[in-house]
Structure 1
């Protein structure tokens, strides 16, 4: 009987009958996007197929300028692509043409995304963990 009442209850009363404590965020709030990287000759390419090779990545981006270096990041054990890689052009203008020409296009049957690569943080800088301790622990007392 209570189950039937939960199904027929108005939206506000459904929370009373729910055993879940999850409350979805309001729809009108948008999550902030990470800041765009500064234009540089280095590109970060994501969405790569597991079968994409470094040579295939180089050939695809060579249509838009002189590729100095290309690398698909691979898994050490399997040797397959991890789904992302880097392309370095000779100039920033060629990199912009590479982004415009390849962002949102198909490569090896997958839609890829190209953007300027963000520089690595200096050595010794802790990763941005959002003020949480490592390994999924709970936040410090009083900071919830």
Structure 2
């Protein structure tokens, strides 16, 4: 299951996120979204956890948890809306 983490402190890194989510199960991947020019965090990330039960436990327990200076928001990532071709 793909999870979206928002409202991250700009100093949070991927290793911190992985450790936080590994408390609830296997983390398949972690992608901290960064600005292409400055390389700094944009304040959100995606985590993939292969087991749905573990992912749901992580979402339930980590939503609104304080990480760094911010209360993070954690939820299931929605698939990107497909671009519909115009006729």
What TM-score do you get using the length of structure 1 for normalisation? 0.56
Higher share in strand: 2
User: Which of the residues 59, 79, 82 maps onto 1:119?
Assistant: 79
**Aligned pairs (5 A) from 1:10-21:** none
Is 1:53 the counterpart of 2:34? The answer is no
- Which structure has the bigger radius of gyration? 1
* Whole-Å separation in 1 of the counterparts to 2:15 and 2:41: 12
CA RMSD of aligned residues (A): 1.3
Q: Structure 1 residues 80 and 94 mapped into 2: Cα distance closer, same or farther (>3 Å)?
A: same
- Tell me the equivalent position of 1:80: 40
Tell me the secondary structure at the aligned position of residue 72 of structure 1: strand
Tell me the secondary structure at the aligned position of residue 64 of structure 1: coil
Q: Which has the higher contact order (CA 8 A, sep 6+)?
A: 2
Structure 1 runs of 4+ with >4 Å offset = none
> Which consecutive unaligned segments of at least 5 residues does structure 1 have?
1-40, 127-144
> Which consecutive unaligned segments of at least 5 residues does structure 2 have?
none
- The count of aligned residue pairs is 85
Alpha-carbon displacement from aligned partner over 1:49-97 (angstroms, at most 9, x marks no partner)? 1111111111111111100011110011221110111010021111100
Alpha-carbon displacement from aligned partner over 1:12-70 (angstroms, at most 9, x marks no partner)? xxxxxxxxxxxxxxxxxxxxxxxxxxxxx110110001111111111111111100011
